[in-house]
Structure 1
Amino acid sequence: MNTPNVDSMVTRMQALAAAASGKPVTTDSQDPNRVDFSAVLKNAIENVNTAQNSAQAKAQSFTLGASDTSLEDVIVSLQKANLSLQGMIAVRNRLVDAYKEVTNLQV
C-alpha cells in the first residue's frame, strides 16, 4: 500500500469536506495554506478514473488468462475502484445540493 498516495488522498478529501461545509477557502496566492478547489476536484476525478482503468485492465488480464494476475488482485482492485467511485458520487451529490441551496437563496 502506498502511504504517501493515501495521505494525499486523505488531505484532498479533508479539503473537499472543508469546502463543502462552508469554511472559507482563501484565494490569496501568497497564503501557503491555500486550497485550490478546482485542482483538488480535478485530481480526485483523475484518481477515480485511474482506479477504474486499472481495475478494468486487471479484470481483462485475468479473463485472458495472464498468469501474473490472481482473482484476489482483481477483486480487490474492483472494490477499490468501486469505493473511489462511490466517494466521488457522494461529493458530487453534496456539490449539487450546495448549488441548489445557493440558487434558492433570497437576495
Structure 2
Amino acid sequence: MKILFALNRTGLAGGVRYIFEVANGLKDKGHDVKIVAALAGDHSWFKNLRAEVIYKPLNLNTFSSIVYAFYKFYRYVTLRSAKMKPYDTFLLISSKLGVRPDIVI
C-alpha cells in the first residue's frame, strides 16, 4: 500500500520522531511510505530513516498560488454544507503535490 505522511517540517520534535518511527515500521511491513514536508529541513538527526522524504515548498507569493488558495477557500465554504468527505481532501493533496498515495495521514 502507498502511504503518505504530510508534515509542516522535519525538525527535531517528538511528533516528527513518532511519525518517522511509524513510517519505518510500515516500511518494514512492505508498504511504500513517503513523507512530504512543506518547509525544507534536516532530518539527519533521525538515524536509519527508510522512508523517502520529499520537500515540496508551498510558494504562496505567485499569482497562481493565490488564486488556488482562494479556490480552496471557496470550495470549502460551498462544500461545507455538503459535508466534505475525506476523499475530497485526498484529491486536493494529491493534485497539489503530484503524489498518488493510497492513504494520506
TM-score range, shorter chain: under 0.3
Greater strand content: 2
Q: TM-score with structure 2 length normalisation?
A: 0.25
Q: TM-score with structure 1 length normalisation?
A: 0.25
Greater helix content: 1
Q: Which has the higher contact order (CA 8 A, sep 6+)?
A: 2
